[in-house]
Amino acid sequence: MTETGEKKQLLHLVFGGELKSLEGVEFKDLSKLDIVGIYPDYASALVAWRAKAQQTVDNAEMRYFIVHMHRLLEPEMKSA
């Protein structure tokens, strides 16, 4: 918690796209990546990720990911 008692923002990015192969994480077309959004915590990002993953369940090559942006912005925060 911060000094004001508010929960610290732990930003998470949800994005996805169609993969070239099921064995890797290389996208077919970077210009067609779906940027779902940036969320203030993992729980919110997980809800968005699940919704997008469910919408594309029939396309095995379509994958969505959650990126822990807060870890990129503040690498010393590994436990959050």
Q: Which fold has domain 12-73?
A: Alpha-Beta Plaits (3.30.70)
Q: Tokens 């998470």 — which residue? A: 12
What does the alpha-carbon distance between residue 32 and residue 55 come to, in Å, rounded to a whole number?
Answer: 16
pLDDT tens digits for 41-63? 999 999 999 999 999 999 999 99
Please count the helices (runs of H) and the strands (runs of E) in the chain. 2, 3
pLDDT tens digits for 24-36? 999 999 999 999 9
What is the pLDDT, as a whole number, of residue 54?
A: 95
Instruction: Please give the structure tokens belonging to residue 39.
Output: 């969320």
The residue ranges of every structural domain in the chain are 12-73
- pTM here is 0.81
Residue 13 has pLDDT above 60, yes or no: yes
pLDDT band of 4, cuts 50, 70, 90: low
Residue 1 has pLDDT above 50, yes or no: no
